[in-house]
Chain A
């Protein structure tokens, strides 16, 4: 989702900040250097640290963005536990499409990765063929959405 949204905005995807907070400095996502520490502080739970991180997001992106970021944190604190507590595997299309990037980011090393069968060789090959087509389709859809909301 992050990759698709970055590419839809015409940016270059640098997803390292997902698994390495320090890499937020290299992210093309505006505000990454304040949003990522805000997430990390909130999950660690120290109120003083959270307050400082909150101030930085507010200064950088504004109050309304701060509130929305807090809501997204809440949302995914819910979603991760649903996935981990029910033992759902990755959906096959996502498994195939994200196979390479998961390996690069180290996500395949997470304990829960064992619940999903690795994509087969032919699936990975198919994924490499389909990937650029899928990204083009997403960008096209994003442009259409942007035009219709003008």
Chain B
């Protein structure tokens, strides 16, 4: 039987990862159960086919996102005046599973994201990575990165990636017909409640950062799930509570951490 990831029951999907993210065995610090559960579900999503990439390809994207951290070519390019000024080859780990341009995209998103350009993103299509695939690739990269950075901050080794993709799933290849270009480098859903099966994505006018990956609606769902566990819920009113954070941190402490991460990354948004 083949299932679209849209139809995956996250709880059932997470079952093979029951032994993963067992923080209580490694940390004396109390990790909220919802955090560990969200990470297990993320691994389930990772191993399943997405909208455009297979489970095998998604795991390969995740593996490349980790390899980028120690990639010599990325290091050299990062210090160059322009990323295009340096020729070389990434220290890549995924064999021939991904197109070369996808490997390059993963490495650049991890190590040099502030110097990405619209023309580079648009040029990926001719190299086998159309906008839909790029957006899904981005969602995999940033999801794994966020979990890996939590581990780094807590002094934990990275969780091993899923050893096997879910072969009972295949990409659904559904591009939302209402996605339009012109506001950013990739097409997005308009800023109003999306119609039909994507009505759950945002209830009304949504900021760019929530719509950014809406060309692949499941990427937004994954984003919201991780945000709910790592920071604040995106559509349950928590964002409008300017006093309380998720747990014992106040909202001001939460925003100080958030803002400093953004500034060190030189993120304008």
Residues of B within 8 A of A9 (CB): 243, 250, 252
B209 A82 Cβ-Cβ under 8 A: yes
We find that the number of chain A residues with CB closer than 8 angstroms to chain B is 79
Question: Is A71 within 8 A of B255, CB to CB?
Answer: no
Which residues of A lie under 8 Å from residue B240 when comparing CB positions?
141, 145
Contact A88–B183 (Cβ < 8 Å): yes
B30, B113, B242: which has the most chain A beta carbons within 10 Å? B242
Instruction: Judge whether B252 and A5 touch: CB under 8 Å.
Output: yes
Docked-complex contact B255 and A91, CB < 8 angstroms = no
**Which of B11-19, B55-63, B136-144 lies at the interface with chain A?**
B136-144
Contact between A2 and B207, CB atoms less than 8 A apart: no
Q: In the complex, which residues of chain A have a beta carbon less than 8 angstroms from the beta carbon of B208?
A: 83, 88-91
User: Is A35 in contact with B32, judged by CB distance below 8 angstroms?
Assistant: no
Q: Residues of A contacting B231 with CB < 8 Å?
A: 71-72, 75-76
In the complex, the answer to whether B264 meets A43 with C-beta atoms within 8 Å is yes
Q: Which residue of A lies closest to B247 (CB)?
A: A68
Q: How far is the CB of B218 from chain A (nearest CB, A)?
A: 15
20 A-B residue pairs with Cβ-Cβ distance under 8 Å, sorted by A, are: A15-B259, A35-B253, A42-B149, A65-B248, A68-B247, A70-B153, A71-B229, A71-B230, A72-B245, A72-B249, A73-B149, A74-B150, A79-B209, A81-B110, A81-B142, A88-B209, A90-B269, A111-B114, A111-B115, A138-B242
Distance, CA A142 to CA B212, complexed state (A): 28
Scan residues 99-144 of chain A and give those whose CB is less than 8 A from a CB of chain B. 105, 107, 110-113, 115-116, 138-139, 141-142
Give the shortest distance, in Å, between A57 (CB) and chain B (any CB).
10
Interface residues of B (CB under 8 A from A): 28-32, 35, 69, 109-110, 113-116, 118, 121, 135, 138, 141-143, 145-150, 152-155, 183-186, 188, 207-209, 211-213, 223, 226-227, 229-231, 240-269
Distance from B212 Cβ to chain A, minimum over Cβ atoms (Å): 4
Q: Mark A2-43, 1 if CB is under 8 A from B, else 0.
A: 101111110100010111010000010111100110111011
Q: In whole angstroms, how far apart are the Cα atoms of A107 and B265 in the complex?
A: 11
List of B residues within 8 angstroms of A70 by Cβ: 150, 153-154
B247 touches A86 (CB 8 A): no
CB-based contact B138/A42 at 8 Å: no
Residues of chain B within 8 A of A50, CB atoms compared: 152-153, 155
Given A43-B264, A67-B154, A87-B121, check contact A81 B258 (CB 8 Å): no
Please give me the residue from chain A that is nearest to B242 by CB atom: A8
Determine whether the beta carbon of B230 is less than 8 Å from that of A75: yes
Query: Which residue of chain A lies nearest to B249 when distances are taken between CB atoms in the complex?
Result: A68
The answer to whether A19 touches B263, judged by C-beta atoms less than 8 angstroms apart, is: yes
Q: How far is the CB of B7 from chain A (nearest CB, A)?
A: 25
Q: With A62-B248, A86-B186 in contact, do A29 and B268 touch (Cβ < 8 Å)?
A: no
- Give the complex CA separation of A54 and B245 in angstroms: 19
Which residues in A have their C-beta under 8 angstroms from that of B186?
Answer: 86-87
- Complex Cα gap A141–B229 (Å): 23
CB nearest neighbor in B for A32: B256
Pick the most buried of B138, B229, B258: most chain A CB atoms within 10 A of its CB.
Answer: B258
Report if A51-B253 is in contact (Cβ < 8 Å); known contacts: A63-B29, A80-B261, A86-B184: no
Q: Bound state CA distance, A148 and B261, in angstroms?
A: 31
| Alpha-carbon distance A17/B258, docked complex (angstroms) | 12
Question: In the complex the two chains form, what is the Cα distance from A56 to B203 in whole Å?
Answer: 41
- Could you tell me if A67 and B241 are in contact, using CB atoms closer than 8 angstroms? no
Minimal beta-carbon separation of A109 from chain B (angstroms): 9
